[in-house]
Amino acid sequence: MADTVGIMQPYCFPYIGYLQLVNRVDTFIFLDDVHFIKKGWIHRNQILQQGKPSLFSIPLREASQNKLILDIFVDPSFPAWREKFFKTLEQSYRKSPQFEHVFPWVKSVFQRSDAPRMTDLAFWSIEATCQYLGITTRLIPSSSVYALEGLKGPDRIVAICQAEKAAHYINPIGGQTLYEPELFQAAGIRLSFLKSQQVEYPQGKDPFVPWLSILDILFWNDIPEILTLLQTFDLLSFENSER
């Protein structure tokens, strides 16, 4: 059971704000039994390529917003895509200070299976990142534990928090319009929002590009530096957040 809980859909090597939330809570739940968002960030993000943000997108098989995230699999072309992506990472980051450590580690995550579910690949990316950084947050796919049939939106979130006996639920700042404090107050749960501050770190000779995949941060920073960056956020109570 957890004192503080965070809940998000599973993203593969997401931006720093996602990892800040994972690091801040006691238990983090991957909400994988909700519908897939086709233009969301579950299977894609951005890396730095020739000084500019470049989108990578993991190929999916018959992805549809009518399917649950847990029912989405990578496409059979994934192994070929993966090798091409490795070459892109090598070309983009071979001069970064952490390349020798991070590059084989990233490869090991993507090579765990040739045909995984997208939720598994995303889970592995967060699990491996936590292990690499020494983060001990408990990670749980929602579909593996909770009985949530018929519950949607905030009611689903509150039900998970109650199952975990959580006293505090933290959500990314982008979701502040989705929740009414009365629902959480009635359940005895404190509601807060995590607002990431823009961080800067050396990215070679080019001007800094913010909000890339955590992969960019891993290549350019050592572990103590990353742990410091993970603390660069504001935690706002519901009353103090901007609605």
Residues near 21 by Cβ (< 8 Å), separated by ≥ 6?
6, 8, 28, 170, 172, 194
Owner of token pair 């491996």? 128
pLDDT > 90 fraction of the chain, expressed in percent and rounded: 81
Residue-level pLDDT at 150? 67
Taking only the tens place, the pLDDT of each residue in 120-151 is 999 999 999 999 999 999 999 988 877 666 66
Q: Is residue 182 situated within a structural domain? A: yes
Taking only the tens place, the pLDDT of each residue in 72-130 is 999 999 999 999 999 999 999 999 999 999 999 999 999 999 999 999 999 999 999 99
Is residue 38 predicted with pLDDT exceeding 50? Answer: yes
Mean pLDDT in residue range 178-204? 91
- Domain extent at residue 42: 4-22+30-159+171-240
Q: Is residue 165 situated within a structural domain? A: no
Taking only the tens place, the pLDDT of each residue in 193-203 is 999 999 999 99
Q: Is residue 18 situated within a structural domain? A: yes
Residue-level pLDDT at 180? 80
Is residue 242 predicted with pLDDT exceeding 60? Answer: no
Q: How many domains does the chain have?
A: 1
Question: To the nearest 10°, the Cα dihedral for 10, 15, 21, 22?
Answer: 60
CA dist., res. 58 & res. 119, Å (int): 12
Neighbours of 78 (CB within 10 A): 21
pTM: 0.93
Residue-level pLDDT at 177? 79
Q: Is residue 84 situated within a structural domain? A: yes
Q: Which two tokens stand for residue 63?
A: 């992805």
Q: Is residue 199 situated within a structural domain? A: yes
Q: Is residue 78 situated within a structural domain? A: yes
Q: For strand 190-196 and strand 233-237, is the pairing parallel, antiparallel, or unpaired?
A: antiparallel
CA dist., res. 147 & res. 44, Å (int): 29
CA dist., res. 28 & res. 234, Å (int): 18
Mean pLDDT, rounded, of the chain:
92
Contact (CB, 8 A) for 1 and 165: yes
Taking only the tens place, the pLDDT of each residue in 216-239 is 999 999 999 999 999 999 999 865
